[in-house]
Amino acid sequence: MNFKDRLQQDFSTMTLVLIPVAIVLNIVVGQIASTLSLPIFLDSIGTVLIALLAGPWVGALTGLLTNLIWGLISDPITAAFAPVAMVIGLVAGLLARAGLFRQWWQAILSGAIIAIALSFVAVPIRVYMFGGVTGSGADFVTAYLLAVGRDLFSSVIITVISSNLLDKVVTAVLAWAIVKALSKRFVARFPRATAVVGN
Amino acid sequence: MTLYLSTNGPLHRLHPLTKLTWLLAVLAAALLGPSGWLPLGLFLVAWLLAAWGGVGRVWLGRNGRILLPLILMLFVIHGFFNPNGQTPLLTLWRLTLTQEGVAYAFLLSSRLATIVGAALLLLLTTHPGDLLTALTERGLPPALAYIISSTLYILPQMQSKATAILQAQQARGLETEGSLWRRARALLPLLAPLVLGALVDSEERAIALESRGFRVRGPKSSLVELPDSPGQRWLRAGLLLGILLLIGWRVWRLFA
């Protein structure tokens, strides 16, 4: 099957209606995590979930649109991090395709890989566009690292990975568990999902 | 729910693409243009435009809430800890404020303020639906427009569903306060019904769309007509030309 046919199969009507649901899940579950004042964001769970069901391209688009829409409804700054959300969806889909989302321990590993992969995009945006600053508590970590003599780039790498590692591991495990909990009839609508649940 | 304010000022009556092109031009000027006072000047222009459009106060308030924490931390982190800081301005206890650090913080702050200010101008005065209609007329795939408007439609529904699930589980004795372990354990009983329910609902929407010819190819007519004017077309062309000139100037400077 060539790339164009593959994309057409990826973006079925079922996928098109699922993308808004995934975007809304990113936003609402992120809000639940902050209601429970958990130390993680969980605001990419919909992106990872749809990447497991419908593949890396759908995952990337969902991540991109999540941040653009978030920018539209509350804070335009979020839109600047759209490439980061894209990488999360893309990498989650690629890992699933490579068979790294079959078991729970693989999901943990995949979450860690996602956290490292996203920092390749997140760190340059944070450093060059925002001077390494987020306007949140994480800035004190960056300030401390700078004060003890690290340069800005490596300080931001440490801040980004340490604040994302646990979050992405929990996100990946939850998304894996949700896919496993879905009915066979529902999952059968997504040919890519066999890489996660088997045949 | 979005940032849009449903008043009716002169900015509201402009074509969405005119405002979007303005945003792109400001983005190009802030990122590629000469630094110094230009970004701050564009921020003041945006303020004047917001006041003229009748959204000045909301514009200022939103800007403050988004920008102030960032700008404050930029000045603290770069003012005191910028590794390139050489020239001391003043010393507080063991920390030294440097001129290079303050200059860098000023550069980044004025850039961010300009971009956020221009984006808010568009978002406060343009209904998302109008923006999507305008973009679809210019070739944005209708499927993308569907995804975005459907998201804006589902979001409040899902938020109230999440609240209902939270209250129902609390009524059954679920503890959502206390130690971290206790709060973390509350996550699953909240997520499972929300996520699984949302996924199953989406199947019905897919069937409804299919049966109404959503995937049919060919031209589709729009219910909404957006007013445009020759003046605005010229303005957009001029702004696009300006953006191209800026990019050209940057590329030329790179090699010259």
Encode pLDDT of B220-254 as tens digits: 777 778 888 999 999 999 999 999 999 999 899 88
Within 8 A by CB and 6+ apart from B100, the residues are: B82, B84, B85, B86, B87
Top mean-pLDDT range of A3-17, B85-99, B119-133, B189-203: B119-133
Q: Do B113 and B152 share a domain, yes or no? A: no
Within 8 A by CB and 6+ apart from A93, the residues are: A51, A52, A54, A55, A56, A57, A58, A59, A60, A192
What integer best gives the mean pLDDT of chain A? 91
The last residue of a domain, from among B101, B134, B167: B134
Residue A73 has a pLDDT of 87
Q: Do B31 and B101 share a domain, yes or no? A: yes
* CB atoms closer than 10 angstroms to residue B180: 11
Structure tokens given for A187: 């999952």
Task: Residue A179: give the domain boundaries.
Answer: 3-197
How far, in Å, are A81, A158, B93, B198 from residue A17 at the CA level? 24, 37, 58, 11
From the number of C-beta atoms within 10 Å of its C-beta (0-12, 13-18, 19+), residue B230 rates as: exposed
Q: Do B31 and B105 share a domain, yes or no? A: yes
Chain B residue closest in CA terms to A190: B203
A109 within 8 A of A117, measured Cβ to Cβ? no
Q: Do B102 and B181 share a domain, yes or no? A: no
pLDDT, tens digit (0-9, with 9 covering 90-100), for B72-104: 999 988 988 888 777 887 887 777 888 889 999
Task: Report residue A88's pLDDT band, with 50, 70 and 90 as the boundaries.
Answer: very high
How many domains would you assign to chain A?
A: 1
Best of B5, B23, B72, B77 to substitute, by most chain A Cβ atoms within 10 angstroms, is B77
B44 found inside a domain: yes
Cα gap B137→B141, rounded to integer Å: 9
Cα gap B19→B43, rounded to integer Å: 15
pLDDT, tens digit (0-9, with 9 covering 90-100), for B189-220: 899 899 988 888 888 888 888 888 777 777 77
Q: Do B89 and B177 share a domain, yes or no? A: no
Q: Is the pLDDT of residue B144 over 70?
A: yes
Q: Do B102 and B192 share a domain, yes or no? A: no
Share of chain B above pLDDT 70, in %: 100
> Hey, CA dihedral for B8, B9, B12, B15, is it positive or negative?
positive
B206 within 8 A of A13, measured Cβ to Cβ? yes
pLDDT, tens digit (0-9, with 9 covering 90-100), for A89-140: 999 999 999 999 999 999 999 999 999 999 999 999 999 999 898 877 778 8
Closest listed residue to residue B161, CA positions, set B189, B198, B202: B198
CATH number at residue A72: 1.10.1760.20
Q: How far is B149 from chain A (nearest CA, A)?
A: 9
The last residue of a domain, from among B134, B163, B178: B134
Cα gap B56→B103, rounded to integer Å: 29
Q: Do B22 and B127 share a domain, yes or no? A: yes
B14 within 8 A of B232, measured Cβ to Cβ? yes
Task: Residue B184: give the domain boundaries.
Answer: 145-211
How many domains would you assign to chain B?
A: 2
The last residue of a domain, from among B71, B105, B134: B134
Q: Which of A28, A39, A76 has the CB atom closest to B159's CB atom? A: A28
ipTM of the complex: 0.89
DSSP secondary structure, A48-102, as one string: HHHHHHH-HHHHHHHHHHHHHHHHHHT-GGGGGGHHHHHHHHHHHHHHHHTTTTS
Q: Do B105 and B32 share a domain, yes or no? A: yes
B79 within 8 A of A133, measured Cβ to Cβ? no
Q: Which of B77, B112, B147 has the CB atom closest to A19's CB atom? A: B147
Share of chain A above pLDDT 70, in %: 99
Q: Do B127 and B96 share a domain, yes or no? A: yes
Judged by CB atoms closer than 8 Å, whether chains meet at B108 and A131 is answered as yes
Residue B34 has a pLDDT of 80
Residue A199 has a pLDDT of 66
Residue B207 has a pLDDT of 84
